[in-house]
Amino acid sequence: MATIHIKDLIEEFDLELVYGEEGVHRSITTSDISRPGLEMAGYFAYYPVERLQLLGKTELSFVAGLDPRIRRERLRKLFNEETPGIIISRGWDVPEELSEAAEEMGIPILRSQMTTTRLSSRLTNFLESKLAPTTAVHGVLVDIYGIGVLITGASGVGKSESALELVKRGHRLVADDSVEIRQEDEKTLVGSAPDLIKHLLEIRGLGIINVMTLFGAGAIRNFKKIALVINLEVWDSTKTYDRLGLDEEKMTIIDCEVPRLTVPVRPGRNLAIIIEVAAMNFRLKKMGVNAAQQFSDKLNHVIDTPDYDDF
C-alpha cells in the first residue's frame, strides 16, 4: 500500500498551510474522512482520530456560538497523536482555539476555497485511489474491444507473442510480464505497468521492443479495468476441457472475483484470435447474449420433445 502524506494533499489540491508546518510529513492511513459534527456537540465516545478531520460552515458556525470555555475544550479534543491533519473548507477563518492546539500538538491545519461537499468528494476519491490494496501478477494485460483481458500462464507459453499479435490487430497493450493491480472498490480491479517496463514487450528470440515507438500511441494504454482472465496452459491430453462454455470459472485477485477461461495451447492454434473472440463473447454475455446457454436450451428442448426418438 502506498503512503500518503499531508504535503501530497497540499500539492494535489493547492491547499493553504495555515498552521503546523512541522506536521506536513504526517502519514494518512485511511481514505475515510470525518466531519466532526457530533464532536462539536460534545460526543467523543467514538471519535475516529486516525482520519482527516474536515470542518465546514456547519461545524464552524456551531462552535462559534458556544461558550468560550466549552469551545476551547472541544476543539482541543479534535487533536490526537494519530490525527493526520484538519482541513477548513470555503476559506473560513481558523478559530483561535484551534490554531493554538495545532501549534501545541504539531498537527497541520489546511484551508481550501472549495465547498465542503466538493472537497470531501475529491479528497475521498484521491485517497481511495492512492491507498487502495495492490498486488502484482505475472501476465500480460491487453485492452481488447474495451475489455481488459489479463493473460496468464507459465513462462514461455506464448503470452507476449499473443499480445504482439493482438496489438497488430488494433488492440492496445497495457502491461507485459508484470501487471500491477489495485483494487479501487469491492468489484473494480485496475491494472497498469510498472514504470520500468511501461510500453515494453519482451519477445523471446527478438528481445525487448517498444510498442508505442513501433505501433504508435494508439497501441498502448496506461491502465485498464480488468474484466476477464484468460489462462494459457500447455495442452494436456489427459485433461477434459470445457467444449460448450457453460462452466464459469472464477479467479480471486485481492478481494475480487474475476471470470477466468482456460485455453489449451498446442501447435496450430491461433491464440490471438481465440483470445480476441473470447473477449467479444464475454462482451456479448454482458449484453445478455449467451450462445452456449442458447444451444443448451435448444438441445434440452429437442431431447424433451416426445417425438425425439423418430429423429
**What CATH number is associated with residue 205?**
3.40.50.300
Binding-site residue ranges for Mg(2+):
160, 202
Binding-site residue ranges for ATP:
153-160
Residue 305 has pLDDT above 80, yes or no: no
Binding-site residue ranges:
153-160, 202
pLDDT band at 248 (very low <50, low <70, confident <90, very high): confident
Q: Are residues 154 and 110 in the same domain?
A: no
Residue 91 lies in a domain: yes
pLDDT band at 308 (very low <50, low <70, confident <90, very high): low
Say which range, 156-160, 256-260, 297-301, has the weakest mean pLDDT.
297-301
Residue 220 has pLDDT above 60, yes or no: yes
Task: Choose the final residue of a domain: 131, 150, 183.
Answer: 131
Residues 121-130, mean pLDDT to the nearest whole number: 91
Q: Are residues 188 and 290 in the same domain?
A: yes
Q: Are residues 126 and 187 in the same domain?
A: no
Active-site residue list: 138, 159, 177, 243
Task: Choose the final residue of a domain: 131, 149, 178.
Answer: 131
Q: Are residues 214 and 163 in the same domain?
A: yes
Residue 22 has pLDDT above 80, yes or no: yes
Instruction: Give me 196's grid cell.
Output: 520500468
Q: Are residues 210 and 236 in the same domain?
A: yes
Whole-number pLDDT of residue 3: 79
Residue 86 lies in a domain: yes
Residue 307 has pLDDT above 70, yes or no: no
Residue-wise pLDDT for 85-103, tens only, equals 999 999 999 999 999 988 8
Domain count for the chain: 2
Residue 256 has pLDDT above 70, yes or no: yes
Residues of the domain holding 24? 4-131
Q: Hey, which bits of the chain come out as E strands?
A: 4-5, 16-19, 27-28, 33-34, 52-55, 86-88, 109-111, 134-138, 140-144, 147-153, 172-175, 178-185, 188-192, 200-203, 207-210, 223-225, 228-234, 249-253, 256-265
Q: Are residues 63 and 8 in the same domain?
A: yes
